[in-house]
Structure 1
């Protein structure tokens, strides 16, 4: 477990990536979400490892990339903030009614983050869809609930982010003794 690795999780369109960008501006090491990068790569190459295509292949690609990011982050000093973590893959598979393979569950249990996981709650006022985020509002709310449950079952303490502007959210994270 790395006490200096922090995860921001939640449903799509809840402001996670905007918060990560703001925390990077504040000087934190940050790790971007793997899912969006994989979606862009698969769309460009005509692949089907997509959340609306081969969901299991998408999950496996996320696991591969997230494990690599976790290992690479070991070389960074100070706190590291992750835009989603390996447990999100378990949550994604659960949400899709797919079985969680033993190696995915083992990875989520082995590659631990700080006990405090930050949850960006569903926030209707900022939720938007785009070519990579096709989930409906109902799916976004369900994703948030599944991520809360997944991280809780894995022993994480959920700290819900305030529904506030990005600066206030970043200040909130910093006040939680992330530094």
Structure 2
């Protein structure tokens, strides 16, 4: 089942959400980034599980949301593309002292062996109400994610810095779609 679940991960502000929208426009099943949904939920409800307030609480909530997303995706047909997910959340939790990535993920890997990685791309990086960290912090996070993917045995396909359409074409081709 996990081979149908395709992860888009990598640098914050690297174009993953835009790419996910392009895949959705082509009729692919997609799951949006947990982080942005959590931020909207927390801001609307006056919560404190925000990355700039309580990173550990945010990471723990992201793990819950990512697990829920994986469970909900079981009923979807064909490949499902995830914008970030359980691995990204587990990396964030480990970074703030909340446990090792492997302990959070478990033995069964939740996504297809090949993951698509958006590299740091300063031109695309923009701060907004939901992305308040610096480009340098995003690059550090990206490096932690790459390290975790290596440790977990994932095959990383680093997306070239090119148009959204070209990136979507590459992903679909690499997935045999």
| TM tier relative to shorter chain | over 0.9
CA distance in 1, matches of 2:38, 2:109: 21
* Pair 1:100 & 2:80 matched: no
Q: How many aligned positions are there? A: 177
Greater shift, 140-149 or 106-115, is seen at 106-115
**Counterpart of 1:49 in 2: which secondary structure?**
coil
The CA deviation string for residues 43-77 of structure 1, in whole angstroms up to 9 with x for no partner, is 12111001011222111211111111101111111
Partner of 1:135 in structure 2?
A: 133
Contact 2:56 2:98 in 1 (8 A): no
**Counterpart of 2:85 in 1: which secondary structure?**
coil
CA distance in 1, matches of 2:106, 2:36: 20
The CA deviation string for residues 96-140 of structure 1, in whole angstroms up to 9 with x for no partner, is x423268x7343543521000110000011111001001101011
Structure 2 residue runs without a partner (length 5+): none
CA distance in 2, matches of 1:16, 1:2: 20
* Pair 1:152 & 2:150 matched: yes
User: CA distance change for structure 1 residues 35 and 27 in 2, over 3 Å: closer, same or farther?
Assistant: same
Query: How far apart are 1:178 and its partner, in Å?
Result: 4.6
Structure 1 residue runs without a partner (length 5+): none
Partner of 2:117 in structure 1?
A: 119
Partner of 1:60 in structure 2?
A: 60
Within-5 A mapping of 1:26-65: 26-65=26-65
CA distance in 2, matches of 1:69, 1:21: 17
Query: How far apart are 1:94 and its partner, in Å?
Result: 3.5
**Counterpart of 1:117 in 2: which secondary structure?**
strand
User: CA distance change for structure 1 residues 108 and 62 in 2, over 3 Å: closer, same or farther?
Assistant: farther
State TM-score, norm by structure 1.
Answer: 0.92
User: CA distance change for structure 1 residues 109 and 129 in 2, over 3 Å: closer, same or farther?
Assistant: farther
Partner of 1:110 in structure 2?
A: 108
Partner of 1:71 in structure 2?
A: 71
Query: How far apart are 1:91 and its partner, in Å?
Result: 1.5
CA distance in 2, matches of 1:36, 1:106: 21
Question: How large is the Cα RMSD of the aligned pairs?
Answer: 1.6
